[in-house]
Amino acid sequence: MIKFRSSTSELRHKVFVEVAKAAFYSENVANDLEAIPYTLTPTEEPRYRESIYRERAIASERVRLAMGMSLNPQDRPAHLTSGFDKSNISEKYYEPPLMQVIPSACDRCEDNKYEVSDLCRKCVSRYCVHACPVHAVSVKEDRYAVIDQRKCIQCGKCKAACPYEAIVHRIRPCSSNCGVHAISSDKLGRAYIDPEKCVACGQCMVHCPFGAIADKSQIFQLVNALKAGDEVAAEVAPSVIGQFGQNVTLGKLFSAIKALGFSCVYEVAAGADVGAVAEAEKYAAKIATGEHPFLLTSCCPSWIMLAEREFPGLASGISETLTPMVTTAKMIKRDHPTSKVVFIGPCAAKKLEAIDNKVRSDVDFVITFEELAAIFESRGIDPEECEEEAIIGATAAGRGYGATGGVAGAIKACLEKSHPDIELKVDCAEGLFECRKLLQLAKFGKKEGYLLEGMGCPGGCVGGAGVNIPVGKGTEFLKKFAESTDKKTPDKT
């Protein structure tokens, strides 16, 4: 999982900030949106690309996605704000596909290609030649090895045989980090994301060195709702701890969010507490008794989409417990019936979960920590300088949901409290590659009696595509926060 400051992450942040500023302050929003590419590239000297024209064209598409709109067509002229009138409203759900490849930004990376680099030492043994089963490797007159791409079957035996590691395997970064093999090449060699396979984990977006992949945002629509004076409530995911600075407590963050105009803020960990109790009871009643072979956790939408699409025979094992996001949203709607609900978290896939017909009435907006940071900056709000607000907190169990093993740990703690005679068998997987392996084991009957926790991102939610800090730091902050919580497990209700 790559998550450190880079030029591409800085560009995303700047786009989000400018879109939020336009939404908050502009008297002529369309004109100010059209000006954003020039704000990002203000001189005739390009900063990242070979020309200012390409750089500004890419920025235009980034702005459209940040507005929640689709990319402009490539075969006819269109303004940056084309279709803007349909998005300039207080509510707008995402129109799939969520993850988008910006054509002008994609560098057409070579995918699955073996090449001999200049590290070749012209050795006499020619291991690479003898290792190739289709005779695609040969030695030229200058005695350098070469690979005939027309014959190569990408088996990698030449690379394995070379003692100097002179043969490189070129793989498109977005493709190699896609756990569901949803990325291929279009006819022009650009990355293409198959919407029928994509589970919106966002790892392709995080790993693209050119920033050519981006997801849609609801920043603009959320700001419109806040400006209109609508009652807007926030629910914040457990993995938020440390995302806005190591000295930003949950109380300070809640104050900062309210300073934006939110009416109230809830911990999603409270919904996690409810879910942990429910799943512990289900395990005791259905799994421990042998009525069902296993139980799959339901809180990660990418994990659930993977299971439903590629392992339909396991669908009956997916927990019917509502996700913490939805459970907390229902709590908010109960307490504040007229309120719009915003989920603030680390996850791109939650944006898809929120448009599910079963969820739409409860969750109105989804934004990431990355997007919230931009909204704070656009309003000049520093969470670290905000006052500490008293928090009626969740338990350590619910707060631990954001890291791998946290869901299973919470369910185990609840089970030990309510059914101390039942032993919970657990297996956890993080990252979609490992999730698939775990599901395959379940398919072949190797996980009977187990609670199976799947997290689509490395490290769990703390490694989501919308976080602000590296996964290691996020895990460290979250675990310390959960451990410092006085009440360890929720009461059975």
- Which residues, listed in sequence order, are joined to residue 366 by a DSSP beta bridge? 343
Query: How large is the average pLDDT for residues 224-250?
Result: 95
Q: Which pLDDT band, with edges at 50, 70 and 90, does 129 fall under?
A: very high
386 has a pLDDT exceeding 90 = yes
Q: Which pLDDT band, with edges at 50, 70 and 90, does 392 fall under?
A: confident
Cβ-count burial of 377 within 10 angstroms (0-12 exposed, 13-18 middle, 19+ buried)? middle
Q: What is the pTM of this model?
A: 0.93
396 lies in the same domain as 319: yes
> Residue 112: left (phi > 0), alpha (psi -120 to 50), or beta?
left
pLDDT in tens, 243-266: 999 999 999 999 999 999 999 999
- What is the structure's pLDDT at 94? 64
Query: How large is the average pLDDT for residues 98-115?
Result: 93
Determine the angle formed by the axes of helices 432-443 and 301-310, rounding to 10 degrees.
50
43 lies in the same domain as 119: no
Q: What is the CATH number of the domain that holds 164?
A: 3.30.70.20
Q: Is 489 part of a structural domain of the chain?
A: no
Query: How large is the average pLDDT for residues 90-101?
Result: 74
Query: How large is the average pLDDT for residues 164-187?
Result: 95
Of 145, 170, 195, at which residue does a domain stop?
A: 170
473 lies in the same domain as 363: yes
Residues 77 and 72: their CA atoms lie apart, in Å, by 8
Q: Is 427 part of a structural domain of the chain?
A: yes
User: Which spans in 26-140 are helix H?
Assistant: 29-40, 52-66, 84-87, 127-131
Q: Which pLDDT band, with edges at 50, 70 and 90, does 2 fall under?
A: very low
1 has a pLDDT exceeding 70 = no
Query: How large is the average pLDDT for residues 458-464?
Result: 96
Number of domains in the chain: 3
Residues 289 and 474: their CA atoms lie apart, in Å, by 37
Q: Is 493 part of a structural domain of the chain?
A: no
119 lies in the same domain as 103: no
Of 221, 252, 281, at which residue does a domain stop?
A: 221
Give per-residue burial for 35-74: e unless 16+ CB within 10 Å, then b: bbbeebbeeeeeeebeebeebbbbbbbbbbbbbbbebbee
Domain range for 130 is: 113-170
- What is the structure's pLDDT at 414? 96
pLDDT over 70, % of the chain:
96
Residues 282 and 173: their CA atoms lie apart, in Å, by 40
395 lies in the same domain as 286: yes
Q: Which residue has the higher pLDDT, 353 or 1?
A: 353
133 lies in the same domain as 150: yes
Q: Which residue has the higher pLDDT, 72 or 359?
A: 72
Q: Which pLDDT band, with edges at 50, 70 and 90, does 493 fall under?
A: low
3 has a pLDDT exceeding 80 = no
Query: How large is the average pLDDT for residues 117-130?
Result: 95
361 has a pLDDT exceeding 90 = no
pLDDT in tens, 135-172: 999 998 888 999 999 999 999 999 999 999 999 999 99
The 8 Å CB, 24+ separation contacts for 142-145 are 144/116, 144/120, 145/116, 145/120
One-letter identity of residue 446 = K
49 lies in the same domain as 100: yes
- What is the structure's pLDDT at 75? 83
90 lies in the same domain as 158: no
Backbone φ and ψ of 66, nearest 5°: -65, -20
317 lies in the same domain as 397: yes
Query: How large is the average pLDDT for residues 72-79?
Result: 86
258 lies in the same domain as 332: yes
The distance of Cα 76 from the centroid of its chain, to the nearest Å, equals 32
Q: Is 492 part of a structural domain of the chain?
A: no
Q: Is 490 part of a structural domain of the chain?
A: no
Q: What is the CATH number of the domain that holds 261?
A: 3.40.950.10
199 lies in the same domain as 242: no
Q: What is the mean pLDDT of the chain?
A: 93
Q: Is 2 part of a structural domain of the chain?
A: no
DSSP per-residue letters across 379-423: TT--GGGSPP-------HHHHGGGSTTHHHHHHHHHHHHH-TTPP
- What is the structure's pLDDT at 14? 96
Nearest-5° Cα angle at 268, 383 to 492: 140
Query: How large is the average pLDDT for residues 25-45?
Result: 94
